[in-house]
Structure 1
Amino acid sequence: MAREKKLVLVIDDDEDIRFTITEICSQAGLDATSAPDGQEGLVLFTEKKPDIILVDYHMPKMDGLATVKAIRGTDETVPVLVLTVDERQQIADAFLDAGATDFALKPIKAPDLISRINVNIRIGILLKESVRGQKEVFIDKGINNATLKLIVNCLKTTGSTLAIEDICRQVSLAYPTVHRYLQYLVETGNAGFDIYYGCASKRGRPRNLYYLTGRGEAMSNNFSCPDRS
């Protein structure tokens, strides 16, 4: 019998952060349980079978990266949201390679966190459906098919070029996650990008504006749009 409320497991060595996230989850109609380090978190993960895991990067005994790897050693589908103050893409790539689903940057803002949790719970549901349909969960290192569907469908339904920031807002995923998936789509020939330099009076930094190629459009036909309700 399914739980009435989704269960969030918070693994963080900061007691204040654990309390804050637990309170945010409660106000959003979610249940939450917590652990102060990766070792205790793995025990709770095994006992409680949470719907999503939030894990800190820097922790004693067992850091976030080792914790994610251990979780993925037993479960391919549970979404894992990494809590971090480090926005470097190489750190994000290491976590995505280990099987993390997405990121939430500290300091935590309640509306952003709840939006991120909800979309990743839906990703977890799609991943479980892939397993039941005997489909691969991870189609490449650090790339799961449910998150890829979200981003491909976002590009398809918009019908125009989009910057990474635009995609992040539409799919409620973190910048490092979206960047990694767009990079994969470009490398596999399913997406391309135009470089936008802004107007002459406000040149600033150039931005990449992404779009699906013909090959990407063909890929999207194999995807059903996920429920975003």
Structure 2
Amino acid sequence: MRLLLVEDDKSLQDNLKTHLQQANFSVDIADDGEEGLFQATEYQYDAAIIDVGLPKLDGISLITRIRNLNIDYPVLILTARDGWQDKVEGLDAGADDYLTKPFHPQELVARINALIRRSVGKASPLISNGPFSINTSTLEVKKGAEVITLSGSEYKLFEYLMLHTGEVKSKTVLTEHIYDQDFDLDSNVIEVFIRRLRKKLDGDNQYGLIETLRGQGYRLKRLEQV
């Protein structure tokens, strides 16, 4: 999952980026509202974290501009402890949730995970498809009772596919949602990770789990629940 973090406090920015990356998110950084607006319109994200007190363009105005552009991914705002008005204005502008500073980074991770799940109609952190399951809180992947060990990139790809089961996703879309803006979008790395996932999850192709649609991309096949 790829996040946009718009925060001008360098210390907090670094701290949050580290915790989010440890939770297997790819994170793009913006130091002010104008840069945040540019990135929000230039790249595809699964969610954004926006501080209210930003230079150049404040967080509330940034959220308003994003929503006016019909950008609808979840937005979580960061506010000061006594900023109840900011919370109300942020929610009214189109934010989906808020956190009051100071907060524990693990709470931020949990809230972002919940927002992303709800944005695709998933209420529980445990997502299942046939015998395959993924827990977006513990990052555990299973096939039946067997725990499957995936690399960080393999997990990100499988998580995104599980959240969008039955949907066709192009290599470009997969790359843009899994990696940050510094990644080489022209590489064929998605093909490599698809092959690895097929081998680890469905080595004998019993389920035909990941389908290739020539010229379109890949689709995680929707399986009957077991």
| TM-score, normalised via structure 2 length | 0.51
Structure 1 gap segments, 5+ residues each: 1-5, 128-229
Paired position in structure 2 for 1:32: 27
Which ranges of 4 or more aligned residues in structure 1 deviate by more than 4 Å?
Answer: none
**2:52 and 2:86 in contact (8 A); partners too:** no
Paired position in structure 2 for 1:218: none
Paired position in structure 2 for 1:92: 87
Superposed displacement of residue 15, structure 1: 1.2
| Residue correspondences, number | 122
Paired position in structure 1 for 2:113: 118
> In the aligned structure 1, how far is the partner of 2:52 from the partner of 2:72?
20
1:51 aligns with 2:52: no
Provide the aligned C-alpha RMSD in A.
1.7
More helix by share: 1
Q: Secondary structure at the match of 1:90?
A: helix
Paired position in structure 2 for 1:67: 62
For 1:83, give the aligned amino acid.
L
Q: Secondary structure at the match of 2:29?
A: strand
Superposed displacement of residue 89, structure 1: 3.7
> In the aligned structure 1, how far is the partner of 2:83 from the partner of 2:57?
21
> In the aligned structure 1, how far is the partner of 2:85 from the partner of 2:65?
20
Summarize deviations over 1:171-199 as a string: whole Å, max 9, x none: xxxxxxxxxxxxxxxxxxxxxxxxxxxxx
Superposed displacement of residue 86, structure 1: 3.5
- Matched-pair identity in %: 34
> In the aligned structure 2, how far is the partner of 1:89 from the partner of 1:106?
12
> In the aligned structure 2, how far is the partner of 1:26 from the partner of 1:96?
26
Paired position in structure 1 for 2:191: none
Structure 2 gap segments, 5+ residues each: 123-226
Superposed displacement of residue 42, structure 1: 1.1
**Higher RCO (C-alpha 8 Å, min separation 6):** 2
> In the aligned structure 2, how far is the partner of 1:86 from the partner of 1:106?
6
> In the aligned structure 2, how far is the partner of 1:85 from the partner of 1:106?
5
For 1:16, give the aligned amino acid.
S
Superposed displacement of residue 101, structure 1: 0.5
> In the aligned structure 1, how far is the partner of 2:43 from the partner of 2:34?
14
Summarize deviations over 1:53-107 as a string: whole Å, max 9, x none: 0000111110110011011011352101001123444332211111010001222
